[in-house]
A and B are shown apart, each in its own frame.
Chain A
């Protein structure tokens, strides 16, 4: 897939990612090492089957982009499957030469596109001479691509991994991180280290422009052509006023259409320094062996001399409610979101517990809204915490004929009740039981463990588990009441109301 949005949405649907427990109901023996170049290695030995889930988590995501190159992190992730001077081509020398000629043609085309934008800004028609030149350049470009195909081994990296028994080979991009992963037979770990260190040592961005078309198709599939894709994108952009989280991970179509090889190279040179990565090996693996492989292979990656700039923009406190209303080909919905803190913030466990108290069939929302007042068909609540902030979400599907305004008021009243009267001891204990057990369940599979460790390595380090778990255990009802009051403020509401488009 090489997915972006799917992951973001899946994370939403599944509720907030949670942490591993070192104390409490069970132990997860995580072994940690740091290479001299700063790259982190985590190993969890499990001997169920002779397979290992291998992944590389880079703390590089759409948050690191800027207007004009939105979606570049995700596009870059696609590029990382195109190979190196060894993988993906039969003639590296000619490949370099063709890449340069392709780039020259596309740079000229980009000039025309920019002039077209300028004409459009003035409401003027595009320059006919430019359009003619565009056609010639396109032909030239296509001929070069055809020539490059002759020396390209398409999907070479995938073929090698799969022929080695690799499954689930893929990568995903999100706001804070990009992860590359595959599950391999236990005897193929050196292959992983070879291919992964090779592609981050000397990537070659070949098939750059055809892949741009693939990413446009991905955007059409996930966003444009779906009933609510564009509206959800607008809702997300409304939510983040200042923070670079506001643009879509997939990027705006106009930006995807303009990336250049230079953009991708400079992105790599800024962010893909080994101290921004964690490699994880979960499964039938021996720590000493894998650490030896890692230092031999990943030790080749040199830290970049210049550290990237930190993310300094802080989302300003929201002091006025924001609303978005849309008519769509989809069922009615009322969604309310508030800003929450980072996943490593000390309030994060209390918010996870609070959302658990509100949600679920025995939670605060379900019975009054679905069964007693019959305003809703279903309700949901989650807190999705990223590295620099979080999203607190309450949502409901109105029943046929129910007034969304009334449903929103009823949601408000339930929130107010928690803010004024807090939660009961049993509610608190139930939430702790559920949050903890859900977390334990994610450790049933190698991939589940990787997902959890990777989440914490993205927002802090896996050691932040321990603080999270301790705080979860010791959280009080008073804390839940406080975070409800502090974060779910009336002036901090971001509301999306969806109504089904009337039939023509």
Chain B
């Protein structure tokens, strides 16, 4: 018997019998004013700076538009190599070893990284070492030496990384989804053994010149500094650079649409007892007028964590998956894929998929209940500060990235209003307009024969859900696929 049941009545005073009976003080949160932190330097650089003396640390982030989208054909892998070599290859006046030694002694973290359409350099340094840290950061951004021996190490690492391409069902799923949904698009400029091997120091130097210049930087910084002093330091750091040779990043429209159907990728191995499934089609970008309606609809449908319908149905009620979700986030530079994703033991993938599709049909047909909408809206309204403004550096970085990506000027100021005014009809409408089961393409990875067969105790096989195609895995180094069996 549990002893906890022995409650003394007086302790129950003031405790309502249901949490719905609790009442709360009103909470106000004013969206931080970006103008109060925005500075335009004489070099053209825009910076968002926030003083924060809570810790003796300064965080400084430099954002720019570059990334794998800017790689020339045949040089796939160049963006990553450039970023890594900037960090590890020394500068004109600092040997790589000396640079690492000094950063480590200062306990400073310096990193350079490239995404698909944005790149960043980040510095985290103790406030007392800010001048030294900033000097090294700027040296790395401006005068990287790209030492050959360091490039060789990075290329060897990259080639080793390529071999791992088909190792896990998760990495196969991610890669094949992009290939399927975007086709011949810059997102799919994937490195091969040949492309990595062909990359020279000169390629790296040219890529660096074409991307990095202070006039194109957006800076976010927060920490124990004085704003006017940091402005002066940044002015000094960014003046007198060589002339701007950067090229604007082109982000083409996506013109590809996969033929609907179920694309299966078999992964060998008797330990592979779980299938990974992605079902989707291209979605919207952040400038679409329905972006908030889609956000809330997706939250209710499958993006809202444990509260979402997919989670309740597939995981909590049926026990068929640990993780099941929809992801209908808008793209900021190009449309992302609207997708449903789950992992389930091989024999129950068909059943789980069917349940997901049933839920999709239900939200399209019936929309959502008023309480679901209210709860989802309340979630976004109340959690809003934590999404974008939970720390000073996150606040600065939110605004720097918004400006870099060209988000509407009032995007954050009106974020909550645009959530609050949504109606049941909005949700039902976007569920119908934006979710298009007729366009669904599937990526299924795992033990394909077992997944196809389905659960002997439940109706249906994979073929009942659409035309099934087997696609052989490509060679991890060349990305060439053997002829289909």
Contacts and interface: CB of A to CB of B under 8 A. Distances in A.
A440 interface: yes
B344 A217 contact: yes
Interface residues of A, number: 98
A124 B55 CA distance: 67
B156 A399 contact: yes
Given A302-B6, A426-B105, A26 B56 contact: yes
Interface string A317-342: 00000000000011100000000000
B254 to A, nearest CB: 30
Interface in B298-325: 304-307, 311-313, 315-323
A308 interface: no
A163 B379 contact: yes
Contact of B317 (A188, A210, A212, A225): A210
Contacts of A46: 54
Contact of A210 (B5, B100, B316): B316
A154 B305 contact: no
A86 B274 contact: no
Contact of B375 (A159, A187, A195): A159
B272 A154 contact: no
Contacts of B383: 165-167, 185
B274 A201 contact: no
B24 A190 contact: yes
A400 B156 contact: yes
Contacts of A198: 19
A264 interface: no
A285 to B, nearest CB: 13
Contact of A331 (B54, B163, B375): B163
B306 A169 contact: yes
Interface residues of B, number: 95
Interface in A265-324: 265, 268-269, 296-297, 299-302, 304-305
B249 interface: no
Contact of B323 (A185, A221, A227): A221
Nearest to B166: A329
Contact of B2 (A51, A214, A269): A269
Q: Which of A51, A201, A438 has the most CB of B within 10 A?
A: A51
Which of B4, B56, B109, B317 counts the most A-chain CB atoms under 10 A from its CB?
Answer: B4
Interface in A120-171: 149, 152, 154-155, 158-160, 162-167, 169
A163 B167 CA distance: 40
Nearest to A274: B4
A296 B15 contact: yes
Choose among A152, A330, A367, A433 the residue with the greatest number of B CB atoms under 10 Å from its CB. A433
A275 to B, nearest CB: 13
A34 interface: no
B18 interface: yes
Nearest to B316: A154
A211 B26 contact: no
Given A162-B304, A214-B315, A330-B164, A441 B15 contact: no
B378 A165 contact: yes
A49 interface: yes
B32 to A, nearest CB: 10
Contact of B386 (A49, A154, A400): A49
A218 B345 CA distance: 10
A473 interface: no
Interface stretch (A239-247, A370-378, A384-392, A487-495): A370-378
A236 interface: no
A56 B479 CA distance: 48
A415 to B, nearest CB: 20
Interface string A416-449: 0000000000100110011011101101111000
A87 B323 CA distance: 23
B326 to A, nearest CB: 16
Given A304-B3, A445-B390, A187 B319 contact: no
A164 B382 contact: yes
A305 B11 contact: no
A12 interface: no
A225 B55 contact: no
Given A154-B312, A214-B315, A226 B104 contact: no
B404 interface: no
B22 A162 contact: no
A502 B12 CA distance: 66
B88 interface: yes
Interface in B462-482: none
A218 B322 contact: yes
B345 A227 contact: no
**Residue of A186, A217, A331 with most chain B CB atoms under a 10 A cut-off:** A217
A304 B269 CA distance: 48
B359 to A, nearest CB: 13
20 contacts: A48-B390, A49-B386, A154-B316, A165-B379, A165-B382, A165-B386, A167-B383, A167-B386, A169-B305, A190-B22, A191-B22, A211-B319, A225-B271, A296-B15, A304-B3, A331-B160, A362-B101, A433-B106, A440-B57, A444-B57
List the 7 shortest-distance A-B pairs measured between CB atoms, nearest first.
Answer: A165-B382, A213-B319, A437-B107, A158-B306, A163-B375, A210-B319, A220-B274
Given A227-B167, A371-B153, 8 more contacts: A49-B385, A185-B382, A194-B15, A220-B274, A224-B274, A330-B164, A361-B104, A367-B97
